[in-house]
Amino acid sequence: MPEKIEFSFKSPEDSPGYLLGQLTMIWHRKLKQVLDPLNLTQTQFALLAAVAWLAKTSDLVTQIDIANQCNADRMMTSKVLRTLLTKKFITRQEHPTDTRAKTIKLTPEGETVLQNAIIAVENADNAFFSVTGMDLKAFNASMFKLVNENK
């Protein structure tokens, strides 16, 4: 029994990192339940949503734009986008001015599956986070601050 190991927290439940990890795993399981019927993973959903958000302001959404929007690894983003291409949810074309870049667009199938996923995920999120009894805007502002301060 390792008696000499010391923690600054009295129990795992006192550790914000432990709790965040637990919460993330539970939230992922909830999203898996609503995304599985749509043939999407949470990561695929996040990247599709990023494409849609970015396309609101640009016709030239690149893989790097998507990775940056999601705070995601570029190689993982490329791999997941290839999967979404295979599923016919996106198109990937040469960038008109940057020969190193590809532009990503949603297909009509991708738009349909994303809209259905948005409804399912937003409903799941509302149910999941409402148990806190907190003001969702204040909660989101705290999470947004954590994201921006720790990028």
**CATH code 1.10.10.10 for 41-132:** yes
Domain residue spans of the chain: 41-132
Tens of pLDDT, residue by residue over 116-130, are 999 999 999 999 999
* Cα torsion angle, 41, 45, 48, 50, sign: negative
Cα 93 to Cα 10, 62, 64, 70, 72, distances in angstroms: 54, 10, 14, 21, 21
Which pLDDT does position 23 carry in this prediction?
A: 95
Query: Which residue positions in the chain have pLDDT lower than 50?
Result: none
Q: How far apart are CA 134 and CA 22, in angstroms?
A: 19
